[in-house]
Amino acid sequence: MKTRHLLAAGLTSLTFATLCTSAMSAPSATTPDAPIATATSDPFPWLEEVQGERALAWVRERNAESQKVLEAQPGFAPLQDKLLALLDAKDRIPQIARRGDWLYNLWQDEGHKRGLWRRTTLADYRKPEPAWETVIDLDALAAAEKENWVWGGALCLAPDYRRCLVSLSRGGADAKVVREFDTVTKRFVDDGFKLPEAKSDVTWIDADTLYVGTDFGPGSMTDSGYPRIVKRWKRGTPLSEAVTAFEGEAKDVAAGVEYDPTPGFRRTVFSRALDFYRHKRFLLDGNGKLVPFDLPEDASYVFWNSVGDKADSLLIELRSDLTSGGRTYARGSLLATDARAYLAGERRYTVLFEPTATRSLDGFTTTRQAVVVNVLDNVASRLEEWRRNADGSYARRAIDAPFPGTLSVASLHDNEIADDPLGENYLVSYTDFLTPDSLLLGKTGTDARERLKALPAAFDSTGMHVEQAFAKSKDGTRVPYFVVWPKGMDADHLPAGGAPTLLYGYGGFEVSEQPWYSRAFGNAWYTRGGVLVIANIRGGGEFGPGWHQAAVKENKQKSYDDFIAVAEDLIARRITTSRHLGIEGGSNGGLLMGAMLTQRPDLFNAIVCQVPLLDMRRYHKLLAGASWMAEYGDPDDPAQWAYISKYSPYQNMLPEGKYPRILFTTSTRDDRVHPGHARKMAALMRAQGHDVLYYENIEGGHGGAADNEQRAHVQALEFSYLWMQLK
């Protein structure tokens, strides 16, 4: 299964007894005192103790029970081996990030479970078999230090990128250890910068100075569990002597800082994340004082400049309408303006993108002289280029790129390198449900592209096809969805009783569900006759901020109504039946799965519920949950709990209900969405007499797995469950 759409601090979904004779698993006999979770009563609070002895004993028992059932399914072992081979395959495209003269990549395979952080040059990357230079061997490091290190990224100091702040996670958790590393000597720096395990945020100022947000002790973290204080830390001094530069409030999501070191354009912006979508920002002026940075609180921005250039631009992406100079700019627009003039109070904008009913902004990247804009057109990608002229005006051109499918773009320009030879180059990748990923090197001003890498086909797509259809939601809204048909099957050629069908959804945080190529689905689902359906429900970003904002807080139920409408449309079109229809979702999509379980159990015979939120009465008190109240609301406010309580799965699970046999998957090391959600829901259902499968990976964080072996195991469990329920 795929790993996508994970609830993040700034906010990137997951993987997947005897077959019942009816569409429902009838509950076992229950007693009158079967537990029910209410707003004031929680039958299983002890399962929130992540490392509690009693809780972990319960987890081990559930894991053993579920693995006994699922690993006994026909073909489980070869399926797991196949999935692992696909994950470890040498023909994968190495994903790269440019740092000066080097392209860096993290690589995991059967010989490097934790991974190699390695590098090569662009010239060598072009070759079929690049010569990679290992910088850090994570497996060797973990063995030497007796730690279960999982790679957490590296922040390197430009322009030479020799010194890096490397983040290492124990078991895949969001909390990380930060250590300074030298990429020339390939050693951690003796007496270098070092931070203990925490949800930290670090930024280089210069070779001897950092901005640091971390757990400085009592009162230094927000209610959401992220840094509240940013300090300036000098090399050679203890962290306790770092000087406070900025403070947020405990109720904020986090305090943060962005530093632009580009010579001639150096700027420091501090921010308070008021909630998931709104920020209050401040610029550090030349006198060391903080002055308000006048941007719409829910807008995002990029300062766009290059060393040696005279141009200094500000790009603003709107999430709400903006009225200025007698004109209203629609939410979802991308605006460009002169940065210095803007900071001086002038408000003159050039519109680089304006949404329509079917077109939305999916992102953008900047080269030295151009903005490459990624547009979603009915959930398929198109590219546009806006070149900045010497007089400050912009010229637009459409970029001829593959369509329809998913395009991703990333600039290779380094704005701290004068006359950067890659200043107008960018990487562009393309994929769709039946087309393997390819990675191309593009250049502004031309449609010509160099093909750098391409993923070979992992399954035979001959005779397969993809359809986009629309369902009508409860309020009349047209909801698009994709249907991926296996070979020889379409709406006029279906198995008797309907095809085994998996419906996937997310519907939150303005995340769009776009076409993607999956080796796992190709081999474990399509080739066995399974239909895959992807629902583009409200709450996502497929049609811009309005599509998302239509299904938050008191309107969250609209996400669920949309998903139900797609499921009913599949049945009405006779593509499948409730007996053969399964659903899957992770994180916010796991909450969607819980809502489907409690609201429309009659529609489904399989539910894969991954790293989910489920107890919405307490979600804001568990780990990072408080940071998501702008999406769901505040359960402590009676008016908001009134609507949250109607869909909160944990409080709506009933002993007398008839529910399909569900599979929960989560991770002990998930310190973003608390594993207690899945644990308590499974325990409650078991206590009420319902049939439940549960698997908790001890490592993996919110991604559910820490290495390919773990990923293959979880995926094999999930696919085996789906075929057990839906065949």
Please check whether residue 633 is in contact with residue 644, taking contact to mean a CB–CB distance below 8 angstroms.
yes
DSSP 3-state of 723: helix
CA distances from 430 to 351, 409, 437, 480 (A): 26, 9, 6, 21
Token look-up 């409408």 returns 565
Residues 6+ positions from 277 with CB-CB distance below 8 Å: 298, 319, 630
CA distance 161 to 482: 43
Give residues with Cβ within 8 angstroms of 97, minimum separation 6.
103, 104, 105
- Asked if residues 544 and 332 have their Cβ atoms less than 8 Å apart, the reply is yes
The answer to whether 3 and 710 have CB atoms below 8 angstroms apart is no
DSSP at 491: T
- Bin 146: left if φ > 0, else alpha if -120 < ψ < 50, else beta: left
Is residue 726 within 8 A of residue 606, CB to CB? The reply is yes
Distance of CA 170 to the CA centre of its chain: 20
Residues 17 and 346: their CA atoms lie apart, in Å, by: 68
Burial of 632 (0-12, 13-18, 19+ CB in 10 A): buried
Separation between Cα atoms, residue 691 and residue 17, nearest integer Å: 10
CA dist., res. 507 & res. 558, Å (int): 10
The two tokens of residue 344 are 């001086």
d(CA 676, CA 662): 17
Catalytic annotation, residues: 587, 702
Burial state string for 115-149 with b = 16 or more CB within 10 A and e = fewer than 16: bbbbbbebeebeeeebebeebbbbbebbeeeeebb
